[in-house]
């Protein structure tokens, strides 16, 4: 069993994605990254802060894009880092590239307002 709402970034793979993300009762942020990506560490740090601050309302997961090509292609991830917001098992927002914490939160909160009211 995968516990995605821990206040930390949970690593998911093709084997655990359905349970952790698609089966989640609450919103899930999924971060696609790769070791070679120069901007991925910055967004990872931002998402780590968001995971800790929003642990009661938002899960944050990460997917190694190179190790999980079916997910990467399936969600049409063409550039890294890519952050997808899932609500009720559906991707509702895509954010490509590094963002400041305030800008990323604004985009996520905007999408959550639209989806959850």
CATH of the domain at 51: 3.40.30.10
pLDDT surpassing 50 at residue 3: no
In a domain, 1, yes or no: no
Print the domain residue range for 31: 9-116
The answer to whether position 2 is within a domain reads no
Peptide bond connecting 80 to the previous residue in cis, omega within 30 degrees of 0: no
pLDDT tens for 59-108 read 999 999 999 999 999 999 999 999 999 999 999 999 999 999 999 999 99
Number of domains in the chain: 1
Say how many C-beta atoms besides its own lie within 10 A of residue 56's C-beta: 8
Residue 116 token pair: 């959850």
Active-site residue, from 37, 43, 46, 80:
37
Residue 33 lies in a domain: yes
Catalytic residue list contains 61: no
Catalytic: which of 12, 21, 30, 40?
40
In a domain, 103, yes or no: yes
- Annotation marks residue 40 as catalytic: yes
Structure tokens that stand for 69 in this block: 């090509």
């Amino acid at each position: 069993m995968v516990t995605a709402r821990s206040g930390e970034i949970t690593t998911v793979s093709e084997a655990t994605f359905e349970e952790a993300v698609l089966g989640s009762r609450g919103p899930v942020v999924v971060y696609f990254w790769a070791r070679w990506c120069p901007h991925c560490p910055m967004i990872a740090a931002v998402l780590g802060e968001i995971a800790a601050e929003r642990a009661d309302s938002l899960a944050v997961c990460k997917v190694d894009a190179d190790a999980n090509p079916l997910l990467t292609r399936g969600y049409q991830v063409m550039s890294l880092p890519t952050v997808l917001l899932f609500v009720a098992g559906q991707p509702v927002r895509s954010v490509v590239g590094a963002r400041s914490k305030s800008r990323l939160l604004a985009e996520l909160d905007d999408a959550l307002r639209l989806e959850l009211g």
